Every structure is written in C-alpha cells, then in structure tokens.
Amino acid sequence: MPFVFDQTQIEWPDDDSDLPPPRADQFVYLPAPDFGGEREPVHFSLDVPPEPPAPALITPVMKPPSLWDRLRGRRYPTAQITPAVRAAATARAAREVFTPQRLIAVAVPALRELGVQRLYCRYDGGNDEGFAWLDSAALREGTRIDADALAQRLTEQKFLDRLVDHGVMKRVDGASERDQVASFVRDWLCTEWATLLLGRGFGTGEYVMYGAFTVDLDSCTVIDDPKADAVTSNVEITR
C-alpha cells in the first residue's frame, strides 16, 4: 500500500500559504487493509458480467416535513427512497463494475499477445485526487520497455479498434490513434488497477501519498511494492 505523509497533525501557516513539500523520510508505509484497500494479492478476472441496464434518471419523491420534523427545526423536505430510486442506484453501481471489467478483459489479451508478462505502475496523490501511470512493462523474453514503446506496439496492433469495437472508449476527433492509445496505456488502465488495489477514491484525504504496484498478467493479480522509490508525477517531495 502507499507511503503516506499525514497532514492532519500539521499546523498550517497563518497566511494560508501552502505547506512546504514533505521529505521522503517523513512518509510511512501502510499495509493494504490499514489504508482501506484490499488484502493482497488482489485478483482480477477477464470475465465480463452481462451489461446492466443504463440507470434511469429518476427524481426522488420529496415529501413535506412532518410535524415532528418541524418541531425539531427541520424545515427542508426529505427524500423518500422509492423502489424506482433504489433500482436506479443499483444499476449505477453495477455499471461501475461492468465498465472496468470490460476494459481489463480487452486490454489483458492484447498485452499478452505482445509478450507482456508484468506491468509496473506508479501512483501518487492526496487531498483531492489520486493518479496512476505506467512506468514499464516486462516482456517474457526478459526485456523491459517503457510506456511509450508499449503504446507504439499496441498502436501497430490496432489496439484502438479493439477498444472501440468493445465499447471501452470512443475515437476522439483531432487526436491521433497513437495519442489515444498512449493515453489509455499510461493513465487509464493503471488507474483501474490502482482502484482495485487502493479502493475507489484513492488519494482523497488529508495526506500526501506515493507508491507503486505490479500487475501480473499470468496470475491476474495486483501486488503493491513495499520498497517503491519516492517517484512522483503530481505531488512534490523533497529529499
């Protein structure tokens, strides 16, 4: 799990200026359950569940406050959770599972065809958002390539066609095929695996974080690197 610098006990400057960047030696490594993520190794599947229906746009039924509510000072109306509202929420939750599963189910076979055995991804963030990106890919032949080289090979493999045909993403007008594949490989794909490992909304809280994890395409597992170097892309750390 991530290396975390807790900001909750830090005294902020009186002039509301930003805190100085934390030092690498001030970070503490947290095991997965302590951070709110899953117990490792985290397993993922290439099976895609049936596509759930699109969630309906339903306005919750509002009922006026009761006499008891008014006596307690509650003047605003309260939402009544009807079966229709509950069904729409269930459909939205199902789609949150379906979309990443479809993404992984398309990407992993394509990576395996290129001889990719493992991916090494990094992540950082804190306060408002978490980020993840591809550092390198290890091939079965024993070599390692960076994200740009992997994106180029996938582009030559017509990987974007697969993503579009399976409804994972749409083509972006004005953007080259190479750039669209590179964006998917560098950021989007690793973010989905980071979410499996760290939990949805990782990076949101009063802290600064960084770390790295390995995705094994043979065993379909995600394992955090407890010895990850303090390499960041979106937060600043001093040595």
Each residue's pLDDT tens digit, 28-81: 998 766 777 778 899 999 987 666 555 555 455 555 555 444 444 555 444 444
Task: Tell me the percentage of the chain whose pLDDT exceeds 90.
Answer: 54
pTM of the model: 0.78
* Between residues 139 and 103, the one the model is more confident about: 139
Indicate the range of 59-63, 67-71, 177-181, 230-234 predicted with least confidence. 67-71
- Rg of the chain over CA atoms, in angstroms? 22
**Structural domains in the chain (count):** 1
Is 231 within a domain? no
**pLDDT band at residue 208 under the 50/70/90 scheme:** very high
Is 200 within a domain? yes
Is 48 within a domain? yes
Task: Give 3-state DSSP helix, strand, coil % of the chain, rounded to 5.
Answer: 35, 25, 45
pLDDT at residue 51 in the model = 64
- The residue among 131, 136, 146, 147 whose CA lies nearest residue 194 is 131
Whether the per-residue pLDDT at 197 is higher than 80: the answer is yes
Is 237 within a domain? no
Q: What are the start-end ranges of the E strands in 7-48?
A: 28-29, 42-43
Domain that holds residue 206: 3-224
Is 130 within a domain? yes
Query: From CA 91, how far away is CA 86, in angstroms rounded?
Result: 9
Q: Read out DSSP for 196-237?
A: HHH-TTTT-SSEEEEEEEEEETTTTEEEE-TT-----SSS--
